[in-house]
Structures are given as C-alpha cells and as structure tokens.
Amino acid sequence: MVKKQILKNRIIEAAWELFEEKGYEATTMNDIIEKAQVARGSFYYYFKGKESLLDTLATVFDNKYREIMEEIPSGTSVFNTLMILNFETHTFIEKHIDHKLLGNMYASQLTNTEASKLLDKDRYYFTLLGELLEAGQANGEITTEFSVSELVNNYVILERALVSDWCMKNGSFSLAEYSKKYMPLFFGEFRVK
C-alpha cells in the first residue's frame, strides 16, 4: 500500500513540476511518464489522463501544509501558526502554480457538478484547520462565538478570496505579501482581544 502511494505521489510531483516548468498545455503525458520514471500502465492505473492530474492540486497543497507544520516551532500561538501556514502556502502558490491555471480551476468549481478535491472536508487541510482552531478556542485565543466549523469555513473563504483576487489580477502582485498584509487583518476579527 505504501509503495503504491509513493508511486502515485511521484507521478503527481513530476506532473506539477512540469506544469510549472513548461506550462500545463505544453506538458505531454509522455513528459510526465518520463519524468516520474513510471510505466505507462502505472500512470493509467492512477489517472485517466493529464486532465485528471489537475484534481491532485489538493494533494500538492496538503503535502505542503504538512511540510510547513513540521517547521513551525512548538509553542507558536494558534493565530500565528495560521498566519505562517497562510503566508508559506501563498508563497508556494506564487512561485510554483501558474495563476491562469489556478484561476481556471477555481472558475470551473462554479459550474462543475462533481465535488472538487480542493473542497473535500476530509482533506488534511480541513482537519488541520479544525484542530488548530479548536485548540485556539480551548486556550482562549480564538473566539467561541462561532463553532469550529464556522471558523474553518471563514478562514477558507478568506484564503480563497485572496488567491482569487491574485488570479483575477493576473498574478500582477506578490500573493504572499498581499496575504501577509490582509489575512491577519481579516481573520484577526476572530481573535480574542
């Protein structure tokens, strides 16, 4: 089971590296198979085609969240942890994810009837946010005026708004710096004063 997940992750990582390097449209299936060093059959075991790799962005992000969490010193406040997660993730997006591709993915969520992996409540991202915000409420740092579920939803809305604005403005400014400035301001409303 672990070996299969490693192989699948290798394909995902290779694909997203190529999307960054060559662009989504210019990346071929053969490019991905070659970079991941997998057999064509192995690729098709996990994915129907190049398009199905777009839905793996949630996996890419969740892996990044895990990596960031490992680097945050223990004892960091919940609010600061959330702001670090936001800043580091948006730095990653700015550097590695094409704003047009991301914007198109966000736009497709408006008309797509199938559930997006990005919105899957069972993702590590949502679980992590829930755990952090619950801890923040327990230690008196985050308001209890809202349920943990409502807080998670609001945090996600704020992140999505910042990223959507960046995409709509063609990545013409630093998403990381924009988020560093505005996320504490917006989400700070949920902090106990």
Query: Domain with 103 in it: what CATH number?
Result: 1.10.357.10
Length of the chain, in residues = 193
Residue ranges in 23-123 assigned as alpha helix (H): 29-36, 40-46, 57-71, 78-96, 99-111
Cα Rg of the chain, angstroms: 18
Same domain (yes/no): 90, 17: no
pLDDT for 45 equals 92
Q: Residues 17, 60: one domain?
A: no
Whether residues 77 and 98 fall in one domain: yes
| pLDDT one-digit tens code per residue, 88-137 | 999 999 999 989 888 877 777 766 655 566 666 789 999 999 999 999 99
Give yes or no: residues 27 and 55 share one domain. Answer: no
Distance CA 178, CA 142 (A): 23
Note the pLDDT of residue 101: 84
Q: Which domain holds residue 185?
A: 51-190
Candidate from 13-22, 132-141, 182-191 with smallest mean pLDDT:
13-22
pTM across the whole model: 0.85
- Amino acid identity, position 63: N
117 and 185 in a single domain? The answer is: yes
Please indicate, yes or no, whether residues 117 and 174 belong to a single structural domain of this protein. yes
Query: How many other β-carbons are positioned within 10 Å of the β-carbon of residue 58?
Result: 16
CATH number at residue 39: 1.10.10.60
**Is 35:17 a contact under the CB 8 Å cutoff?**
yes
For 182, other C-beta atoms within 10 Å of its C-beta total 15
Count of domains in the chain?
A: 2
Q: For residue 5, what pLDDT is reported?
A: 78
Does 24 share its domain with 67? no
Same domain for 60 and 92, yes or no, is yes
25-76 pLDDT, tens digit each:
899 999 999 999 999 999 999 998 888 888 788 888 999 999 999 999 999 9
